[in-house]
Amino acid sequence: MSNILVTGGAGFIGSHYVRTLLSGGYAGYEDARVTVLDKLSYAGNPANLPLEDPRLTFVRGDIGNQELLLHLLPGHDAIVHFAAESHVDRSVDGAAAFVRANVLGTQNLLDAAVRTGTGPVVHVSTDEVYGSIDSGSWTESAPLLANSPYSASKAGSDLLARAYHRTHGLDVRVTRCSNNYGTHQHVEKLIPNFVTRLLRGLQVPLYGDGGNIREWLHVDDHCRALHLVLTGGRPGAVYNIGGATPLTNRQMTERLLELCAADWSAVRFVADRKGHDLRYAVDDTRIRTELGYAPRIPLDEGLAQVVGWYRDHPDWWKPLVEA
């Protein structure tokens, strides 16, 4: 694979994947060329990308535009599909944009992949499609019982990916990863939101009693797993991506307070998010045994590095908090 199309590559995770690929982070892919297709929604930022790199082509456009896709896809030998509306709170306020981008956009992309014979396609799904689990963990065969409009739209696209493999024989591989943290994440998400508030001496809003449990994985581990699936995964297979550290939101807040030299007086408890899932947990045995995946970045080390990045890059996040 030498010419990879990355949708949503100007966002948080997609841009990490592109930067890593172009900087030679994946052995054997040092010469690969990348086309990023991104509509630059409020969450997309071209400054996340090394636009001067001659191996990168940036195309501003919507995955919902079939004509554009039919023009763009030929010549590419793989697609990594990140593009999506991604913020649960926004989906609670209004689900239409989520169905449009995540369900219809993905269907449109899969159609174009079939029509142009482009593949493999890695569909970047999420552990949230499974719903909430009180104890234990989900394997890939657990039912999809999504609870938020965001996760329901991701479940729709996840099932479409399966259907395009079964029906059309398209080489699609689906990944379901837990919560990511890292640099370049939009300030609306929990960690950047809290860190950029604490760095400005502001209070942070913690939902409910802070007891919701999430597994936190460094974005670099997620992207390495995605590349493993792209290069060695099975067509039609689903891979959970886990190995992350489970923490209650209260425990995460405690760590962020410490890293930002603040205390609990900076925390304001607010009414819980509607339909807030209590706990997510994935069983990642399949990707570990089939593809040799194992996460590398311990949470405390990664979190300290990420908080340091936000501290050193107010020029990146100040325009977002002021918007």
- What radius of gyration do the chain's Cα atoms show? 19
Distance, in Å, from the CA atom of 283 to the CA atom of 295, rounded to the nearest integer, reads: 13
Burial of residue 280 (number of CB atoms within 10 Å: 0-12, 13-18, 19+): buried
> Would you say 85 or 277 has its CB closer to ligand NAD?
85
Known active-site residue 280: no
> Would you say 12 or 310 has its CB closer to ligand NAD?
12
| CB of residue 101 to ligand NAD, shortest distance in Å | 4
| CB of residue 46 to ligand NAD, shortest distance in Å | 9
Q: Which residues make up the interface to ligand NAD (CB under 6 A)?
A: 7-8, 10-14, 38-41, 43-44, 62-64, 82-86, 101, 105, 124, 126, 154, 177, 179-180, 186
Q: In sequence order, which residues have a C-beta less than 8 Å from that of residue 147 and are 6 or more positions away? A: 131, 132, 275, 277
Q: Which of the following is catalytic: 38, 62, 85, 128?
A: 128
Q: Which of the following is catalytic: 38, 62, 127, 277?
A: 127
| CB of residue 127 to ligand NAD, shortest distance in Å | 7
Q: In what order do the strands lie in the sheet with 179-181?
A: 179-181, 213-218, 245-248
Known active-site residue 127: yes
> Would you say 35 or 262 has its CB closer to ligand NAD?
35
| CB of residue 286 to ligand NAD, shortest distance in Å | 17
Q: Which of the following is catalytic: 150, 181, 280, 293?
A: 150
Burial of residue 289 (number of CB atoms within 10 Å: 0-12, 13-18, 19+): exposed
Known active-site residue 150: yes
Position closest to ligand NAD via CB: 11
| CB of residue 81 to ligand NAD, shortest distance in Å | 7
> Would you say 43 or 113 has its CB closer to ligand NAD?
43
Closest of 136, 140, 93, 101 to residue 288, by C-alpha: 140
> Would you say 126 or 262 has its CB closer to ligand NAD?
126
> Would you say 262 or 284 has its CB closer to ligand NAD?
284
Distance, in Å, from the CA atom of 292 to the CA atom of 275, rounded to the nearest integer, reads: 36
| CB of residue 259 to ligand NAD, shortest distance in Å | 19
Beta-strand ranges (E) seen in 74-153 are 78-81, 121-126
Beta-strand ranges (E) seen in 213-252 are 213-218, 238-241, 245-248
Distance, in Å, from the CA atom of 29 to the CA atom of 32, rounded to the nearest integer, reads: 5
Are 253 and 267 in contact, with CB atoms under 8 Å apart?
yes
Beta-strand ranges (E) seen in 118-186 are 121-126, 172-177, 179-181
Helix-strand-coil percent breakdown of the chain, rounded to 5?
45, 20, 40
Residues serving a catalytic function are 127-128, 150
